[in-house]
Amino acid sequence: MNIHCDSKFHKNSMFFNLALCMILAIALGCSDSNDRDIQQRLDRTIHELLTNNTKDGDINAALALATPKTLENPTIVYVRADTRSPTAVVLYVHWIEKYPTPNALLLRSSKTGYQKVFTFDQEDIDEQNRDAKAYVLFYSVWRLEYPSEEWKALEQQLQEGEVEAVLLRDGTPVSNIMKVELRQKDTTSSPNTP
**Any idea which architecture 51-183 has in CATH?**
Sandwich (2.60)
* Cα separation, 105 vs 117, whole angstroms: 6
Residue 166 · residue 67 · CB < 8 Å:
no
Residue 163: which residues within 8 A CB-CB, separation 6 or more? 81, 107, 108, 109, 114, 154, 157, 179, 180
Q: Where are the domains of the chain?
A: 51-183
* Cα separation, 159 vs 121, whole angstroms: 27
* Cα separation, 19 vs 8, whole angstroms: 16
- Is residue 148 scored above 50 in pLDDT? yes
pTM of the model: 0.77
Name the β-bridge partners of 60: none
Q: Residue 96: which of 44, 35, 47, 138 has the closest Cα? A: 138
Q: How high is the pLDDT of residue 186?
A: 59
Residue 100 · residue 173 · CB < 8 Å:
no
Question: Among 5-14, 96-105, 153-162, whose mean pLDDT is lowest?
Answer: 5-14
- Is residue 155 scored above 90 in pLDDT? no
DSSP H helices in 92-173: 122-131, 149-160
Q: How high is the pLDDT of residue 43?
A: 93
Q: How high is the pLDDT of residue 31?
A: 54
At 68, the pLDDT band (50, 70, 90 cuts) reads very high
Tens-place pLDDT, residues 157-183: 988 878 999 999 999 999 999 999 988
SS3 call for 95: strand
Average the pLDDT over 137-144 and give the result.
94
Q: How high is the pLDDT of residue 152?
A: 87
Residue 96 · residue 77 · CB < 8 Å:
yes
